[in-house]
Structure 1
Amino acid sequence: MSNFSHRLRRVLVLFAGCLAAASSHAIDRSPETAALIKRGEYLATASDCAACHTVSQAKPFAGGLPLNSPLGTIYSTNITPSNNFGIGRYTEEQFSQAIRHGIRADGANLYPAMPYTSYSVLTDDDVRALYTYFMLGVTPVDVRAPDTKLPFPLNLRASLKVWNLLFLNTHTYQADPHQSAEWNRGRYLVQGAAHCSVCHTPRGFLMQEEPRLELSGGQVGTWYAPNITSDAASGIGTWTREELVEYLRNGRLRGKAQAAGDMGEAVEHSFQYLSSADLEAIATYMKSVPPIHDSRDSTSRFTVGRMSSDLATLRGADGIRSDNDGNPTGAELFQGNCASCHSAEGQGSKDGYYPSLFHNSATGSVNANNLVATILYGVDRTTSKGQAYMPGFGGKPNDFTALSDREIALVGGYVLLHYGLADRSITAQDVAEVRRGGPTSPLITLARAGIAAGVVIVILALAFLIVRGRRRAL
């Protein structure tokens, strides 16, 4: 009995030792590992991973966020170290393949809504830091994210192998020896972690970025990511380095621009937390980006418009008049919904919390989608400077207080006429498109037509061979 007890004690000691070793490995907190986790967390912030992969702050990185694309809704994945629903079983090499080449651990391809086309330039050291952070610094969340179900044939992920061969850069960042260390750091962040081109570069027929038009502006779902090249009229060439840093840190540049939509999220979750050195490096690089001019821009969107008011002419015994059908006019809608914050003259509040409607990128751009999206969805951005908030007027289904597409077109047109680009119009159809999630792509229809044509050709070819074979037999 004593011999059995002795053996049992040895087994228990060995078992406890194994558990201790496994636990020690799982929660390795050596100074080197702790530093790597911290670096990985910074890189994850710079990459704005939370914006797409976090729906609830109670479950960070658990995925499930619906992302509107011209081809359909794509759901972000769970990137916590959950063994069942996340990336807990990924090796470092599999993790690298996913974020740099868009290939999951099971060999399937990721849709390029995940910006692996930008992350491909990340260095091995940075990928290792990210991997360490997600495996040891993130809490596992055992929740399955919804599956993405794009229409046929885009649901065939294997087709992305061809897309990657055509458009994916497989080389990590190479520093330019003719430029400063600050400039190279800025370019590395802009082209890599910050993935600026993913939003700000127009897309081609196959949804690929157009390199010759890099950073000249692109539609991203409901929002338009404007030209951020160094062109003085179409881009941000008139901004100073200090202004660029201020905008990235706080999401606003008084008298010029305010971050909303995806850019508001980028400021809130990413840019405001970057070091001053990195923000200055980004600004240094951005000032050197080659200018790309849009021929429709005769002047900078940041200087368009002036203060004006129709209020004096609208006052009278009958108040502000509606149109002949009894529907509200743009003037009435503006006075009832906008003037209390932005003032009847459109100059905003004295402290700048409510921005001016003139000298404002949303009203001075030839693309009015951001003005429409702002009216529909509002602004909600929080930084160290506080919260910037504007309610959306698009409402929800059966919300009788919401503005209709026609009413938003009227108030948007009134704002443009009096404070912005007066020759730009907004129609109810424009509003409806933004409300639906932005422009769609004809790629699905054309791909289906191409497949159908291919099938017909194959059938005809087989029929021809069969008929010819029978004739020879005769």
Structure 2
Amino acid sequence: MRISSLVVSIVSALGTIGSSAQAQTLTDAALVERGHAVATAADCMACHTVPRTGKPFAGGYAIVSPLGTIYSTNITPSKTSGIGGYSEAEFSRAVRQGIRKDGAHLYPAMPYDSYAGITDEDMHALYAYFMHGVEPVDEVSKEQTALPFPFNLRFSMAFWNVLYAGTTPFTPVAGVSAEINRGAYLVNVLGHCTSCHTPRNALMGAIQSEALAGGFVGPWYAPNITSDPVSGIGGWTPDELVAYLRTGHAKGKNQAAGGMAEAVQNSLQYLPESDLAAIAAYLKSTDPIRDKTEERAAYEFGSPHSDEDSIRGTYPPTAHDSLASGKELYSGYCASCHQPNGAGSDDQAYPSLFHNTATGSIRPANLVAVILYGIDREVDGKEVLMPGFGKQSYVTPLTDRQIADLSNYVLQNFGNSQANVTPDDVAMARTGGPKPILATVQPFILPTLVGIAIVIILIAAGWFIGKRRRRLAPVAAR
């Protein structure tokens, strides 16, 4: 009886241990899956993976900033090349404060100023995902960040962080619905929308009083997404916002390109419908910010128009260089997809050029950028592609003058006729967009510092020589 009882007890204990182990495994799997959802909402894939050719999270993606190109790092759990040696505290410090394991500062191209708001629970899950849900890649990117002086002094970011970086996890606002609080967390923390959609000051810090009011991101302009009905998304319905976030397209409103196309492709299309609805609800609840230069919503501009009848037969079929004017360039390069009258394709995969924020905005930067760089996004396994006509074009590279003429034809006939594009505007877009003050003065910083140092040395030398002469003067007199 005693032996039998002992066997039963052992079997029972083993069963209990097995059940506990299984429960722990399920718990760990759920934690990793939650971390995967957090990483998706935070859009980690877009910046830490080279499109098409790169391994997930292996780094090497070029982030072109006004201060120089920053290359993302390997954040797989590789012990030799990634973050496999990071403790959870070190991981949290890097994500929330922008400080690596070795103590060096990250640049805010990694949006730690927004990620500072990640909750402790989500940070724990995120760490579990990157340590146990990501395949390690034991490769270091061939491309390494090398910004010019003085931006290469990473320790200077400590001062920038004091001024502009967040410090505390997100706290829900009392008296606001759970949906809007969730939207605020997704927009301002995980989605780091302010990184692109908020204008920046002379030190490249986000101007919080104009949060989400729009700003340049290289050659692209991230538009105003406050609730203002003219300058922002106040005239969009919640369903239109959700459709845009999920697919990158909202009929009669806008289509995603540039960095927004990457956000849709790598992040937003995978969020649950409830999260997309929460983002829409939050954006609709924000304080409206009006751009005084705008009197009508950008998507209200334009109507169908065609100049095909006036073009046909102008040149013989064998003529060269026959695409000289804006309307001829449009006919030759745009009309086959966007239709001669600008209405786009029936399914709007090639969108209408009227009732389109890219052509109706008083700032035609996105129209120029999309002609230069094209559109390439994949949603639900379907690719939306428009070739670019910049120097890298596999169709036909266009000159600055041609792109300006083409843009102005589109603006005059399908969009905001008050907007205008010059060849200089196109040249600026080719070189990365408007330069902030820091980038403008950068070439003069080192010579200025050297000049100041030389002046200080000369003053010190003069003082020392003068003092020595005064000390020796009585001796010489004797």
Q: How does 1:224-263 map to 2 (within 5 A)?
A: 224-263=221-260
2:127 is equivalent to residue 127 of structure 1:
no
Q: Which runs of 5+ in 2 are unaligned?
A: 1-20, 474-478
2:420 is equivalent to residue 422 of structure 1:
no
Which range moved further: 74-83 or 238-247? 238-247
Provide the rounded CA distance (Å) in 1 between the counterparts of 2:109 and 2:314: 56
Corresponding position of 1:451: 449
**Contact 2:230–2:294 at 8 Å: present in 1 too?**
yes
Which whole-Å deviations, capped at 9, do the CAs of 1:302-340 have from their partners, x for residues lacking one?
1111111222233455479x99x9761111111011111
**Contact 1:302–1:360 at 8 Å: present in 2 too?**
yes
Provide the rounded CA distance (Å) in 1 between the counterparts of 2:323 and 2:256: 33
Q: How does 1:378-457 map to 2 (within 5 A)?
A: 378-384=374-380, 386-396=382-392, 401-440=396-435, 441-445=439-443, 447-448=445-446, 451-452=449-450, 454-456=452-454
Q: What secondary structure is seen at the aligned counterpart in 1 of 2:131?
A: helix
2:83 aligns with one of 82, 87, 97: 87
Q: 1:184 to 1:345 in 2, by over 3 A?
A: same
Letter in 1 for 2:453: V
Once the two structures are aligned, what percentage of the paired residues are identical? 51
Q: 1:57 to 1:273 in 2, by over 3 A?
A: farther
Letter in 2 for 1:265: E
Equivalenced residue count is: 446
Corresponding position of 1:284: 281
Provide the rounded CA distance (Å) in 1 between the counterparts of 2:323 and 2:386: 25
How far is 1:131 from its partner?
A: 0.7
Q: 1:448 to 1:140 in 2, by over 3 A?
A: same
Q: Normalising by structure 1, what TM-score? A: 0.89
How far is 1:138 from its partner?
A: 0.5
**Contact 2:41–2:190 at 8 Å: present in 1 too?**
yes
2:176 aligns with one of 169, 176, 179: 179
Q: 1:317 to 1:230 in 2, by over 3 A?
A: closer
**Contact 2:66–2:218 at 8 Å: present in 1 too?**
yes
2:91 is equivalent to residue 69 of structure 1:
no
Letter in 2 for 1:249: R
Q: How does 1:343-358 map to 2 (within 5 A)?
A: 343-358=339-354
**Contact 1:250–1:385 at 8 Å: present in 2 too?**
no
Corresponding position of 1:22: none
RMSD of aligned alpha carbons: 2.3
Q: What secondary structure is seen at the aligned counterpart in 1 of 2:221?
A: strand
Letter in 1 for 2:74: N
Provide the rounded CA distance (Å) in 1 between the counterparts of 2:362 and 2:451: 39
Provide the rounded CA distance (Å) in 1 between the counterparts of 2:348 and 2:267: 23
Corresponding position of 1:116: 112
Provide the rounded CA distance (Å) in 1 between the counterparts of 2:85 and 2:227: 44
How far is 1:447 from its partner?
A: 3.9
Which whole-Å deviations, capped at 9, do the CAs of 1:214-263 have from their partners, x for residues lacking one?
11111112211111111111111101212111110111000110001100
Provide the rounded CA distance (Å) in 2 between the counterparts of 1:317 and 1:276: 52
Corresponding position of 2:45: 50
How far is 1:106 from its partner?
A: 0.3
Q: How does 1:247-326 map to 2 (within 5 A)?
A: 247-316=244-313, 318=315
Q: Which runs of 5+ in 1 are unaligned?
A: 1-24
Provide the rounded CA distance (Å) in 2 between the counterparts of 1:369 and 1:189: 27
Letter in 1 for 2:330: F
1:98 aligns with one of 68, 72, 94: 94
Provide the rounded CA distance (Å) in 2 between the counterparts of 1:442 and 1:112: 19
**Contact 1:205–1:443 at 8 Å: present in 2 too?**
no
2:457 is equivalent to residue 462 of structure 1:
no
Provide the rounded CA distance (Å) in 2 between the counterparts of 1:454 and 1:36: 56
How far is 1:469 from its partner?
A: 3.0
2:155 aligns with one of 146, 158, 166: 158
Q: What secondary structure is seen at the aligned counterpart in 2 of 1:442?
A: helix
Provide the rounded CA distance (Å) in 2 between the counterparts of 1:317 and 1:457: 68
**Contact 1:64–1:78 at 8 Å: present in 2 too?**
yes
**Contact 1:376–1:394 at 8 Å: present in 2 too?**
yes
